[in-house]
Structure 1
Amino acid sequence: MQKELEDIVKAYLIASEQGMQTALATVVHVEGSSYRQPGARMLITENGALTGAISGGCLEGDALRKAQLAMLQQKPMLVTYDTTDEDDATIGVGLGCNGIIHILLEPLGPHRTLCPLTLLQQQVGNRDTTVLVTLFNLTRRSAPQPGTCVLITDGGERQVQLEEGPLRTAILTDVCAAFTARQSAVKTYDTGQDQITALIAWHPPAIQLLVAGAGNDVQPLVKMAAILGWHTTVVDGRPAYAQPQRFPEAARVIVAKPVEVLQHLQPDDYTAAVLMTHNYNYDIALLSALLPHRLPYIGVLGPARKLQRMLQEMEDTGAAITPEQRARIYGPVGLDIGADTPEEIALSVISEVKAVMAGAPGDSLRNNPVAIHQRAHQQIIQKQL
């Protein structure tokens, strides 16, 4: 989703420079099944250009027409699509999602005291985890829809367009809870006079991928990571291989010794490393440097016996490898998909990194007995103020 937000911000800046009106469509609540989940966003320009997605393509056309009306009226609009109706008479297309999707359309521009895209622009420019709050009135759709009004990052950025009072206090408390739980939520607050619902959207930074090795087999891995919007750093000790023109999709290409790598990288909870230099000494030295840091994923290319030998040598030289550290090392690297070519191996590695980062098993979805998407953030929690 981070790549989608980055693309939306870029498109918004271009449209603003051209003087075009824009609107932001946000999936704020889902009942049942849908292609996209709460927090999915799409930018709509007055000339019909779309960036991002709120569905698999079935809602975008109608959302475009309604967004143009919202731009004309210059006020947010809440739109609901009921795809549980097999006839889909109100939309005119066969959706088959079996869910009710609520989308908030927010016109953007100088009239907004706090523009959602201004908030998003601040988020995508750094590696902070962010909570973005969008308010809407689900019970009275014709009432004014407040829209996006809060952005708070774990890096200390804080913008809140809410009056002092019980509603502000309750929302900020739930924002803190979202940071702790690392999960979005949808909650309704009963103010006594009205009910206001909030999408409290938790957004982690993009995955930061460190690839040690600049051989030809690394090129498809970097390309696939770029498609996903991951921020990739390629490092190698060989100047002839570690050249930016060989990896145009990488954020950085660095020539460095293993002990120098961490001078160029700040590991965090969303950093993964893959060691594929085909140089045993380089890989073991870098593994020793990375292990004290809490990277959730360190992949080691090669057979299992290679990794076992590396760990044994590290322990023989005095390293105390804890069970928690060992659990974060994946070798042989990748999911078992029968990969053979460099492209297939890259797909295997990318899939395993994504599964680990998402806390998913990496199994076939048909073997999953529960819903594909977690439902915790879809259930509206009522709060009396």
Structure 2
Amino acid sequence: MKEITDIIRSYEQALTSGKRMALATVVHVDGSSYRRPGARMLVTDDGQLTGAISGGCLEGDALRKALLAISQQKNKLVTYDTTDENDTTLGVQLGCNGVVHILFEPIKTDDPENPVELLKKVAAKRQNAVLVTLFSLQSRTGAQPGTCFLHLQADDRAICNCTPEMYDQLLSETRAAYQRGDSFFKAFGRSLTGFVEYFNTPPSLVIAGAGNDTIPLTEMASVLGWEITVVDGRTGHATRQRFPKAGKVLVARAEDVLKHIPIDERTFVLLMTHNYNYDLALLKQLLTVDACRYVGALGPKKKLERMYSELESGGMLITDKQKTKVYGPVGLDIGAETSEEIALSVLAEIKAVLGRRAGLSLREKLEPIHSRSDQRVDYTRDEKEEFLCAIQTTTP
């Protein structure tokens, strides 16, 4: 979401300056690639780039393709084959061992439902959403409908810029994306492939504690694009001046914290007040919130065990299931000592939990870094036959 936020900001600035723009989107990948489908880059007519579609190796040529799309005011699909390490067509040896398909869409600034305006609607509210981009892998000269369908789950509202005949099909695939909780590819007839892109709500980081050691946490989480709330009982510590990167800075008693902060399964809470009683009171509440899946407790394991003991002595029954969501001592074991290193350790652990990963070194991973299953295009039997027929027809 951070990349999308940056693109929206640059888009607004370009509108003010009267610049023309194009949006480049990675819509499909075969094999390995630095960026996955959904990576985006906004290009203005003066050559400014926001976002990224690769590690830097494709951006130069992509700039030229984007400017061409702006000039012609026509969507274009461009394929970059990086499987040949000796291929110097693009001026560099890419060596990514993959085929990357990138869709270039000129932005019509007078269209209130252009691709970036749709992204603005995704980012405007904390809710799940599905965005569908249609393109043709079989015909580079054929129609490339582009980003044409958006559904916002909380509002149960759909915006459709494609044919009325496609509406029901796209809405059906949207519901499938919500059920999967993931993005996927779907074939539509003989020629079109749809990238059905699922947007989950961004992580919400709640930091209980406004000491100096939590300042690096807010700065790093801000770089990641997470929603940040800092809460503390001390008025002199929990201030906007000390935490300019936080979305919210609250002064509240531990017993009142959850009255001000909604907790869902994408909310991650850190107990870092250095006030034992404050952390204890907040932990007591969080253990009973089913939606809360992560509570990070700063300090030694003995401190956490003491907390459990006191809560149980007070009559609270703490189950093993409740304990599984408490991470204490918080963070991955990377040898962190300073506040900045601890912040890195904590955020890395949260990201691992968020991605359902163990937090191991990638060299220990036997399979590819990115699953190949997300590259498969879903076909019905008839669609697959139509696809094979189209391939045979277009193959020289």
Bin of the TM-score, shorter chain as denominator length: over 0.9
- In structure 1, the residue matched to 2:66 is 67
1:361 aligns with 2:358: yes
The yes-or-no answer on 1:335 pairing with 2:337 is no
1:296 aligns with 2:296: no
SS of match in other structure, 1:124? helix
Q: Matched residues in 1 for 2:317 and 2:179: separation?
A: 30
1:117 pairs with 2:116:
yes
Q: Structure 1 residue 112: deviation in Å?
A: 4.5
- Residue 111 of structure 1 and its aligned partner are, at CA, apart by 5.8
The answer on 1:371 being equivalent to 2:368 is yes
1:285 pairs with one of 265, 271, 281:
281
Q: Percent identity?
A: 50
For 1:103, the equivalent position in structure 2 comes to: 102
Report SS of the residue matched to 1:138. coil
Residue in structure 1 matching 2:266, options 252, 267, 270: 270
d(CA) in 1 for partners of 2:316, 2:77 = 58
1:314 to 311, 315, 335: 311
- Is the 2:145–2:162 Cα contact (8 Å) retained in structure 1? no
How large is the Cα RMSD of the aligned pairs?
A: 1.5
Q: Distance in 1 between matches of 2:221 and 2:174?
A: 30
5+ long unaligned stretches in structure 1: none
1:251 equivalent in alignment to 2:251: no
Alpha-carbon distance in structure 2 between the residues aligned to 1:104 and 1:85: 22
Aligned equivalent of 1:18: 17
Cα distance, 1:309 vs. partner? 1.6
- Which deviates the most, 168-177 or 95-104? 168-177
Cα distance change of structure 1 residues 351 and 332 upon mapping to structure 2, 3 Å threshold: same
Amino acid at match of 2:219: K
Give 1:196's match in structure 2, choosing from 192, 199, 214.
192
Cα separation, 1, equivalents of 2:371 and 2:167: 27
Aligned equivalent of 1:176 = 175
Q: Which runs of 5+ in 2 are unaligned?
A: 384-396
Would you say the 8 A contact 1:209–1:230 is kept in 2? yes
* Counterparts of 1:50 and 1:170, CA distance in 2: 34
Distance 2:280 2:318 in 1: 13
SS at match of 1:209: strand
> In the comparison of the two structures, how many residue pairs are matched?
380
1:55 is paired with a residue whose SS is coil
CA–CA distance in 1 between the matches of 2:350 and 2:320? 20
- Alpha-carbon distance in 2 for matches of 1:234, 1:320: 29
Match of 2:394 in 1: none
Q: In 2, distance between residues paired with 1:8 and 1:125?
A: 13
When the two structures are superposed, what TM-score results if normalisation uses the length of structure 2? Answer: 0.93
Shift of 1:178: 1.4
Measured in 1, the distance between the counterparts of 2:310 and 2:167 equals 56
Q: Contact 2:132–2:150 (CA<8 Å) still a contact in 1?
A: yes
Return the alpha-carbon distance in structure 1 between the equivalents of residues 57 and 101 of structure 2.
14
Deviates more, 1:298-307 or 1:314-323: 314-323
Q: Which amino acid aligns with 2:164?
A: E
In the TM superposition, residue 114 of structure 1 has moved relative to its aligned partner by: 2.9
Structure 1 residue matching 2:94: 3-state secondary structure = coil
Q: d(CA) in 1 for partners of 2:87 and 2:38?
A: 24
Larger RCO (CA within 8 A; separation ≥ 6)? 1
- Distance in 2, matches of 1:95 and 1:347, equals 30
Q: 1:162-241 to 2 correspondence within 5 Å?
A: 162-165=162-165, 167-190=166-189, 194-241=190-237
Q: Which moved more, 1:12-21 or 1:26-35?
A: 12-21
Q: Which amino acid aligns with 1:227?
A: V
Query: Could you tell me how far apart the structure 1 residues matched to 2:272 and 2:311 are?
Result: 18
Name the SS for the 2:379 alignment partner: strand
Q: TM-score, normalised by structure 1?
A: 0.95
Tell me the distance in 2 between the aligned counterparts of 1:205 and 1:93.
37
